Amino acid sequence: MHDFELMISQRSKAIDVSGIRRVFELGAKLKDPINLSIGQPDFPVPETLKEAAIEAIRQDKNGYTLTQGVAELRDAINRHLTSDIGWDMNSSDTMMLVTSGTSGALLLAVQALLNPGDEIIAGDPYFVVYPSLAELCGATFVPCDTYPDCRMTAARVEPLITDRTKIVLVNSPGNPSGVVLTNDELKDLVDLCKRKGVLLISDEIYDEFTYEDAREDGRCPSPARFDDQMLVVRGFGKSYGCTGWRMGYVAGPASIIREMAKLQQYTFVCAPSMSQYGLVGVFDVDMTSYVEAYRRKRDMVIRAFDGVANLATPGGAFYAFVEVPESMGLTATQFVEKGIEQNVLTIPGNVFSKADTHFRISYATSDDKLEAGLEVLTGLMAQVASAT
């Protein structure tokens, strides 16, 4: 008889099942829960993009594409990057690769760059995938404590850099906090990484989902506007409601992108063909009204917790990272469980952090559901406040 447990690699055993999935499993037992847990936009994919993908299928564009991506989409992305961050995408020193989501881009990047024993620094709280990316390479994930404001500044990063540090990974707008760093803060990170000989990777999956009060010169702040000797990772799923299409891209030094393309050829092969063709015209689609609607949802969250609990003001994405009041005497996990008892799903902070003091709200839901969920969560906090 086979002992399959003994066959499982240490690499796989070192990675825990996402705490988000555990909440989903709990939520599946509830009847019509108020779901403030999932990072899935609640608006539909724009009709023009749907029709383009459907037409691609009908035209039998369903086979493999070049690993780098279809020419039409590559041209559109290159034009956008030239316009938005000022990189010369026609230079032989710079390349772009279409990937299977931004997670695919990040996985290819660490596989191409990290050796066992290398270190990668990212802010704490962090996107849930980041520690596992290091684990998959035998590298070490080094969290940078950004509490209470969730701002990963150069001053906080510099003391963590060692001779083993190879990557600093910044995520702005951030998940789980929604915090957007300023251009000045990002330039400081660029300067630090250049001075220390460390590669900066900027995860900008929410770049189009940045609110007006966090934009500078009408755009989401980006370190890529200060240097092209870094990797910038972007995607389409969150901003255009097509998370299941698995579409992202990465741009940076050609020597790195070539290695990532080689790895993609032997893993993902290519991004989904119909998704690529469907997104050729994506940069002509105006999502301003949706972003503005989410800005209003953001404001609902801020008003609800004003004077009740602390949170760093989200400048983008659709998350808020809320501190459980110390007076409650509860961990975030315990607070989330109390919310679930009242049919409200959120995510405990220890999914995204070494600490378990905050919980994440996703306000990617209807205004009515959001208002009802906020009433439950603030009500739980008010019960403790009135008891004391």
Residue 12 has what pLDDT?
A: 81
Residue 32 has what pLDDT?
A: 83
Neighbouring C-beta atoms of residue 139, cutoff 10 Å: 21
Contact 357, 331 (CB under 8 A): yes
CA distances 218 to 211, 214, 221, 288, 326, Å, are 10, 9, 9, 12, 38
Q: How many CA atoms lie within 13 A of 388 on its CB side?
A: 9
Residue 334 has what pLDDT?
A: 95
pTM: 0.94
- d(CA 310, CA 305) in angstroms, rounded, equals 7
CA distances 10 to 13, 120, 384, Å, are 5, 20, 44
Would the pLDDT of 21 be above 70? no
Would the pLDDT of 385 be above 60? no
CA distances 248 to 39, 136, 279, Å, are 16, 20, 11
**Residue 201 — pLDDT band, cuts 50, 70, 90?**
very high
| pLDDT tens string 288-311 | 999 999 999 999 999 999 999 999
Residue 373 identity: G
| pLDDT tens string 353-374 | 999 999 999 999 999 999 999 9
**Residue 380 — pLDDT band, cuts 50, 70, 90?**
very high
Residue 283 has what pLDDT?
A: 97
Residue 178 has what pLDDT?
A: 97
List, by residue range, all CATH 3.90.1150.10 domains of the chain.
Answer: 4-45+287-387
Residue 7 has what pLDDT?
A: 83
Would the pLDDT of 25 be above 90? no
| pLDDT tens string 231-260 | 999 999 999 999 999 999 999 999 999 999
| Rg over CA atoms, the chain | 21
Residue 2 has what pLDDT?
A: 79
* Tokens, residue 344: 């409200």
62-284: CATH topology is Aspartate Aminotransferase; domain 2 (3.40.640)
Residue 321 identity: F
| pLDDT tens string 89-125 | 999 999 999 999 999 999 999 999 999 999 999 999 9
Residue 45 has what pLDDT?
A: 96
List, by residue range, all CATH 3.40.640.10 domains of the chain.
Answer: 62-284
Residue 271 identity: A
| pLDDT tens string 123-132 | 999 999 999 9
Helices (H), the chain: 4-7, 10-13, 19-27, 47-58, 71-85, 101-113, 130-136, 154-157, 183-196, 237-240, 254-265, 273-278, 288-305, 332-341, 367-387
| CA torsion through residues 170, 173, 178, 181, sign | positive
Longest dimension (CA), the chain: 67
Taking the CA atoms of residue 332, residue 335, residue 337 and residue 338 in that order, the dihedral angle to the nearest 10 degrees is 180
| pLDDT tens string 306-338 | 999 999 999 999 999 999 999 999 999 999 999
Residue 5 has what pLDDT?
A: 81
Please list, in sequence order, all residues whose beta carbon lies within 8 angstroms of the beta carbon of residue 237, skipping any fewer than 6 positions away. 101, 102, 205, 243, 244, 245, 246, 247, 248
The dotted CATH code for 4-45+287-387 is 3.90.1150.10
What value does the mean pLDDT of the chain take?
94
The angle formed by the CA atoms of residues 198, 202 and 206, to the nearest 5 degrees, is 170
Would the pLDDT of 386 be above 60? no
| pLDDT tens string 144-200 | 999 999 999 999 999 999 999 999 999 999 999 999 999 999 999 999 999 999 999
| pLDDT tens string 34-79 | 999 988 899 999 999 999 999 999 999 999 999 999 999 999 999 9
Residue 33 identity: P
Residue 171 has what pLDDT?
A: 98
- d(CA 34, CA 363) in angstroms, rounded, equals 11
Residue 10 has what pLDDT?
A: 81
